[in-house]
């Protein structure tokens, strides 16, 4: 570990230790016992025990009932599988995001659902000095983002209703949707027109247009969006930008095997 980076960056010690435990277990073919892990990493036995119990509780590791040794659990494989799927989607999508950004010259994004939020997993940045930039890996609410609404609108009704029951509506701007009924009406509009708009709903002065991406089974799995300063989006003609976003989403979906009805 780089000690200089550790000193200059705020970190959580227990998280670092948990990661080092996982790396230690990943190197072991037959698993490791509590004392072995504690001695190898020079951690206290008690602290190691509590970390192992926490990881085991979430199925990140598992323990052999006979010899009490720990090994990597199914939970970590599940996370790895999701990460691999997203990585593949990013690889497939990036050329389309770059092309869309080049056409519109505003930042293009790829978003996926993460629980009841959206997660930014890919981006092609605008060349403009003033631009919309969201950190990759950042999460945002479903109800006030173009990508979030585009995905949720095409989810099954049962999922929508469950998501609506979990959303804590916060009024970020004067345009933020803050009721479940208003969002339901928005879903109907989105499905009729095939795209969603974030009209300064999350942040004043920022407009976003998004469209859903479907897989080969016809299920919505992501959204592509264009976001930028509202004044510039309007100057460039919002209708033209929407057309480019929708076309890009259709091209990505087609490459995933989706056949539009």
User: Model confidence over 27-77: pLDDT tens digits?
Assistant: 887 899 999 999 999 999 999 999 999 999 888 889 988 899 999 887 777
Q: Which H or E run includes 207? A: strand 206-214
Phi, psi of 199 (to 5 degrees): -90, 75
Residue 11: predicted pLDDT: 76
Burial class (CB in 10 A: 0-12, 13-18, 19+), 114: middle
Q: Which CATH architecture has domain 78-255?
A: 2-Layer Sandwich (3.30)
Helices (H), the chain: 3-8, 13-27, 34-41, 45-57, 74-104, 146-153, 157-166, 180-193, 230-235, 238-255
CA 120 vs CA 27, 62, 97, 148, 224: distances in Å: 31, 31, 13, 10, 10
Can you tell me the distance from the alpha carbon of 126 to that of 108, in angstroms, rounded to the nearest whole number?
A: 8
Which two structure tokens, joined as six digits, stand for 81?
Answer: 């599988």
* Segment 198-216, tens digit of pLDDT: 999 999 999 999 999 999 8
Q: What is the pLDDT along the chain (261 residues), one digit of tens a residue?
A: 444 444 456 778 888 999 999 988 988 878 999 999 999 999 999 999 999 999 998 888 899 888 999 998 877 777 776 666 666 888 889 999 999 999 998 999 999 988 888 988 899 988 775 556 667 778 899 999 999 999 999 999 999 999 999 999 999 999 999 999 999 999 999 999 999 999 999 999 999 999 999 998 899 999 999 998 998 888 888 999 999 999 999 999 999 888 887
CA 163 vs CA 80, 218, 226: distances in Å: 25, 20, 24
What is the dihedral angle through the alpha carbons of 31, 36, 42, 46, rounded to the nearest 10 degrees? Answer: 100
Residue 5: predicted pLDDT: 46
Residue 6: predicted pLDDT: 45
List, by residue range, all CATH 3.30.450.40 domains of the chain: 78-255
Please indicate, yes or no, whether the overall pTM of this predicted structure exceeds 0.85.
Answer: no
Q: Which CATH architecture has domain 3-72?
A: Orthogonal Bundle (1.10)
List, by residue range, all CATH 1.10.10.10 domains of the chain: 3-72
Q: Are 215 and 240 in contact (CB under 8 A)?
A: no
């Amino acid at each position: 570990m780089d000690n200089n980076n550790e000193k200059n960056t705020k970190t959580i010690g227990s998280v670092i230790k948990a990661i080092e435990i996982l790396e230690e277990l990943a190197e072991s073919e037959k698993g490791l016992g509590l004392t072995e892990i504690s001695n190898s990493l020079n951690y206290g036995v008690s602290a190691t025990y509590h970390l192992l119990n926490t990881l085991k509780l979430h199925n990140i590791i598992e323990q052999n009932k006979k010899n009490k040794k720990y090994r990597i659990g199914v939970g970590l494989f599940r996370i790895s599988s999701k990460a691999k799927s997203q990585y593949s989607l990013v690889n497939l999508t990036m050329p389309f995001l770059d092309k869309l950004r080049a056409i519109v010259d505003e930042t293009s994004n790829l978003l996926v659902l993460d629980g009841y939020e959206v997660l930014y997993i890919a981006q092609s940045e605008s060349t403009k000095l003033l631009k919309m930039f969201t950190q990759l890996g950042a999460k945002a609410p479903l109800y006030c983002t173009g990508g979030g609404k585009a995905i949720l609108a095409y989810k099954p009704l049962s999922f929508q209703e469950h998501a609506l029951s979990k959303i804590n509506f916060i009024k970020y701007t004067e345009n933020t949707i803050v009721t479940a009924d208003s969002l339901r009406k928005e879903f109907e509009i989105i499905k009729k027109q095939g795209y969603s708009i974030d009209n300064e709903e999350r942040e004043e002065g920022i407009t976003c247009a998004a469209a859903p991406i479907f897989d080969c089974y016809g299920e919505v799995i992501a959204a592509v969006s264009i976001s930028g300063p509202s004044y510039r989006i309007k100057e460039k003609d919002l209708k033209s930008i929407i057309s480019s976003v929708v076309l890009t989403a259709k091209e990505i979906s087609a490459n995933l095997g989706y056949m539009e009805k």
